[in-house]
Amino acid sequence: MVPLIEAVNVSKRFAGGLGRESTLALAGLSLAIHAEKPSIIAVVGESGSGKTTLARLLLGLAEPSGGEIRYRGNDLKRLDRDGRRAFRHDVQAVFQDPYGVYNPFYRVDHVLKTPLRRFRLAGSRAEARQVISEALRAVGLQPEEVLGRFPHQLSGGQQCSWWHARCCWNRS
């Protein structure tokens, strides 16, 4: 069983400035996350221990200095356009503090429609509305109470829930 995403003996070193030594953020780290066998993985460490660096590597936002990040067995650096699209579809961040990523000028609908359109997960507006409604219900929200509103018009619990509704798309 090939992992969805895998770090193989990954290291990351950041260059130092003028006359400064480089900083080793990660050394020899290996980790596998399987799609068929969902699990929760906690990455714990003190400040500066490389947690954010690891997340950036796994999301493809940074390249390792050594080792490989693999998506479905393929080196992330060598994915073609379709492979990168599939990667962005399957591997997404759920932010610890979703409030920091809300754009107050967009309604909830816009944020939920964007991935549907980008990944072509709905064939029509009616189908998109149905997928969005199902995702909202899956996280305990009523579409008629959330859609058409701005993020600041939702309670804290509603804000967290609708942000996580993006993870409920049918990816078959």
CATH number listed for the domain at residues 5-90: 3.40.50.300
Amino acid 172: pLDDT? 42
Contact 110, 102 (CB under 8 A): no
pLDDT of residue 93: 77
* pLDDT at residue 112, as a whole number: 86
The per-residue pLDDT for range 9-52, each reduced to its tens digit, is: 999 999 887 888 888 999 999 999 988 876 778 888 888 889 98
d(CA 150, CA 160): 13
Domain ranges of the chain: 5-90, 98-168
Return the SS3 of 12.
strand
